């Protein structure tokens, strides 16, 4: 299986949008759904594994987190969302609206680390994805630090926030327990040991997989995610 660099990931995404004519909302919806289904396997629903905090970034990765939170809610979990900064596009605000109208609370401030550890059983990191360019800005560093303080399990959508797709871990970045790669696994994920690794976002037409020689694992039956490690 190939782990792609940032440029290649961007090329594939742009091809899906411009040549295959997928709408951005369509891609985000499928990615969010696949991630939600992988989360349902990684953190099986029960009375102690129900409430979760979604940290949402301003871009695509955040919008995928919002779609994921909505589906997780349908599955019976109790997600709560926190927007790390303002969403960048009107269509992303629509995803936020869908969450709010689906009765998912949106926190105005990030709680203290102790409160997070008390109230949630796991964290979903949907802050930064493939578009993130280092360095980590000071206000984000505070958020990442708070999320990691009490060693609650952290599940990252696509890329752990603060990591660089090509060069990997950076100081103060998220240290994940679970990573759900989106559409194609990114290079930085290949360097992480001891995590559960899923692939979701079952979108890629076979021809595009062949063109980029991705050699992705086969999704089982009609499942929208596949476990890699």
Does 139 bind its own copies (CB under 8 A)? Our answer is no
CB of 75 to its own copies, least distance (A): 5
d(CA 161, CA 126) in angstroms, rounded, equals 7
Task: Work out how close the CB of 84 gets to its own copies at its nearest, in angstroms, rounded to a whole number.
Answer: 21
C-alpha torsion angle, residues 57, 59, 63, 69 (rounded to 10): -10
Q: Which of 134, 205 has the CB closer to its own copies?
A: 205
205 belongs to the binding site for its own copies (CB under 8 A): yes
Among 48, 86, 193, 221, binds its own copies (CB under 8 A): 221
- Name the nearest CA neighbour of 182 among 11, 27, 2, 1: 27
Question: What is the spatial distance between Cα 145 and Cα 151, in angstroms, rounded to a whole number?
Answer: 11
Pairing of strands 196-200, 122-126: unpaired
Q: Please report whether residue 33 would count as binding its own copies according to CB under 8 A.
A: yes
- Give the contact letters, 37-66, x = binds to its own copies (CB under 8 A), - = no: x--x--------------------------
Q: Does 219 bind its own copies (CB under 8 A)?
A: yes
Over the Cα atoms of the chain, what is R_g? 16
The reply to whether 20 sits near its own copies by the rule CB under 8 A is yes
- Separation between Cα atoms, residue 145 and residue 140, nearest integer Å: 8
Cα–Cα distance, 22 to 152 (Å, whole number): 36
Residue numbers of the site for its own copies (CB under 8 A)? 19-23, 25-26, 29-30, 33, 36-37, 40, 71, 74-75, 91, 94, 97-98, 101-103, 202, 205-207, 219, 221-222, 224
């Amino acid at each position: 299986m190939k782990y792609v660099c940032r440029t290649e990931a961007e090329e594939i995404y742009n091809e899906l949008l411009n040549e295959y004519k997928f709408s951005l909302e369509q891609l985000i919806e499928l990615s969010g759904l696949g991630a939600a289904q992988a989360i349902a396997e990684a953190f099986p629903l029960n009375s102690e594994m129900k409430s979760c905090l979604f940290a949402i970034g301003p871009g695509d990765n955040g919008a995928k987190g919002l779609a994921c939170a909505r589906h997780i809610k349908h599955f019976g979990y109790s997600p709560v969302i926190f927007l790390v900064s303002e969403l960048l596009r009107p269509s992303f605000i629509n995803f936020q609206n869908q969450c709010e109208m689906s009765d998912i609370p949106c926190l105005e401030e990030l709680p203290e680390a102790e409160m997070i550890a008390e109230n949630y059983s796991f964290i979903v990191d949907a802050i930064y994805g493939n578009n993130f360019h280092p360095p980590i800005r000071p206000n984000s560093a505070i958020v990442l630090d708070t999320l990691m303080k009490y060693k609650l399990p952290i599940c990252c959508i696509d890329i752990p926030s603060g990591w660089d797709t090509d060069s990997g871990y950076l100081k103060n970045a998220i240290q994940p327990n679970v990573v759900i790669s989106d559409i194609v696994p990114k290079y930085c994920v290949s360097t992480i040991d001891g995590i559960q690794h899923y692939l979701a976002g079952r979108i890629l037409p076979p021809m595009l997989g062949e063109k980029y020689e991705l050699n992705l694992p086969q999704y089982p039956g009609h499942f929208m995610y596949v476990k890699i490690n």
